[in-house]
Amino acid sequence: MNKKENHLLMYYYFLSLGIPFRGGRVSMWPKDNKYAYLPNFRFRFSEIEKDHIYYQKLSEVIKLFKGKLEWELSTKPYTKNFIIKPKIDIEGINNKLRHKLIDDAIFDVLYLVEYLKKNYEICVNE
């Protein structure tokens, strides 16, 4: 996969797990404007409750990832979805810093997916 397709890596990784899931979109950021919003991946495992160990393990593995940014798995009480995203808030910061943080997040995606491949599939198969 070439560098221009990195926005799809998380989607392809979740497909490879073999656990049915749903996502709002397959891309972590818009191809036509990577600075539109902070890269993220929103999903849920189709037939698994929110308190299932798969989510707990995934959260633990994501927290241990060492990239340019810290990443997290989060959810809200009123939704079934989870979101994988950098643990930063870019609202209200200047464009130069905002662009740098988004570039750092995009840089991390390949390495985060590789980290998940090495560390999370083992948890799912336990």
* Tens digits of residue pLDDT in 39-67: 999 999 998 999 999 999 999 999 999 99
Residue ranges per structural domain of the chain:
3-124
Give the long-range contacts of residues 103-108, CB within 8 A, separation 24 or more.
Answer: 104/67, 104/68, 104/69, 105/38, 105/39, 105/68, 105/69, 106/6, 106/7, 106/29, 106/34, 106/39, 107/67, 107/68, 108/65, 108/67, 108/68, 108/69, 108/71
* Tens digits of residue pLDDT in 76-123: 999 999 999 999 998 889 999 999 999 999 999 999 999 999 999 766
Q: What is the per-residue pLDDT for 2?
A: 46
- The CATH architecture one would assign to domain 3-124 is Alpha-Beta Complex (3.90)
